[in-house]
Amino acid sequence: MLTQEWSEVVATTTAEYLKGAADLCIRDNPVFSMLNRRKRISYGQSGAELRWQVKFNLPDVEAYTGGSLDFAESDKHRQLVIDWRGYKVTDMMTEREKLENRGASQLIDRYARIMPDMEEALMAQFGLELYVDGSTYTDRFMGLETMFGESSPGGTCVVGDLVSYSTDSYGGYSMEPGAIAGAWSTNLTTSPNAALGTDWPSGVGDYEYDFHAPRLVNWSSNAWGTGSTSWVDNCERALRRAAMWTQTNVGKQGKIDLFLMNPTLYYDYINRAASMRSIIVPAKELVELGFDGVQQEGVQLTHEYGVPEQTCYGLNLDKMELHMMYDNLFISKGPEYDMRTDSWLFMLATYGNWRFYSPKFFTKLYPYAAS
């Protein structure tokens, strides 16, 4: 009776704790909070893999001067595929320890001391998974660096380049501009990236040329017009261009919602902004959610623990989603008796993954020429 009583109470109590822990995890992170407000966190997902369709091309438009029309089936989408990833935290109590702590209240108290630490560990790790390169770390969530990991071979971004470009893949398709199909203009006197040799991400071109290409902005370039390669001098111009470039050939749907910075970059940006103008506009949504934040030309800016050094991410929140396989962020299993170890086993777990509709709707600002 004692075994049934304490194990059932511990399981029930843990489930209640985890619901509160999941809510706290969302409230304590600006990206999670903003996604939750937009209903971009989904639960109860299933299937062997996470699949979705991304627009690869647009229908052809031709001038019409009369006569018959040609009709052909269009093939304008590509299917992206990533796998599910998961994390676990475990604990155990031997039968001897259980006997030494006779009484349901003593046993429950023992877990009451341990569970918060397990929950805190899982919450802390979960928050950091937003930034992971899931292609390099194949057992972890496919976070932002999956799109933005060290992207190009040596020599493809030099100090005079405003952008770098990716030669990696995401969801099964290359992120290199022009690698799959399409062409881009070459009208600028100086290309934003000399190795690429086109006007991209400025200029005009075919939709398929960059349908899967993230905007990798080199804030350490000497071509920003400031005579400097430092973040403090270039930050406002680099952020402005990054926000413009994500809207290239997609318009308003490409608008960045949030620039998420390493705390050092955010501190330097705020000091720069304060020295240049008397009024700094607060970010209304971030403030409503309880976070620090400001606005630059309609885009919110904030900082967060875990963002890599020298890094700023530009996020289009309507083009990203957190998919979870359970009905909550975290679930618990146990206590269950294991005869082989004569122990009671306890586990917290989570399964899911990040999904970014297409890397072209996201940007990373980084000193690419200095890396």
> Can you read off the two tokens belonging to residue 69?
């029309």
Phi, psi of 238 (to 5 degrees): -65, -40
Residue 329 one-letter amino acid: L
Q: What pLDDT is stored for residue 224 in this prediction? A: 97
Q: What is the mean pLDDT of residues 336-362?
A: 93
Given a cut of 60, whether residue 151 has pLDDT beyond it is no
Domain 1-57+78-371 has CATH 3.90.1690: yes
Q: Minimum mean pLDDT among 103-117, 129-143, 157-171, 257-271: which range?
A: 103-117
Given a cut of 50, whether residue 153 has pLDDT beyond it is no
* Burial (0-12, 13-18, 19+ Cβ within 10 Å), 339: exposed
Given a cut of 80, whether residue 321 has pLDDT beyond it is yes
The answer to whether the CB of 355 falls within 8 A of the CB of 321 is: yes
Q: Minimum mean pLDDT among 16-20, 216-220, 300-304: which range?
A: 16-20
Average pLDDT taken over every residue of the chain: 89
Given a cut of 60, whether residue 341 has pLDDT beyond it is yes
Given a cut of 90, whether residue 244 has pLDDT beyond it is yes
2 pLDDT tier (thresholds 50, 70, 90): very low
Give the CA-trace dihedral at 230, 236, 239, 245, to 10 degrees. Answer: -110
Q: Minimum mean pLDDT among 6-20, 74-88, 99-113, 270-284: which range?
A: 99-113
Summarised one tens digit per residue, pLDDT across range 203-241 is 999 999 999 999 999 999 999 999 999 999 999 999 999
Q: What pLDDT is stored for residue 5 in this prediction? A: 67
Q: What is the mean pLDDT of residues 42-59?
A: 88
E runs forming strands in 26-74: 41-42, 50-55
Residue 304 one-letter amino acid: E
Q: What is the mean pLDDT of residues 184-209?
A: 95
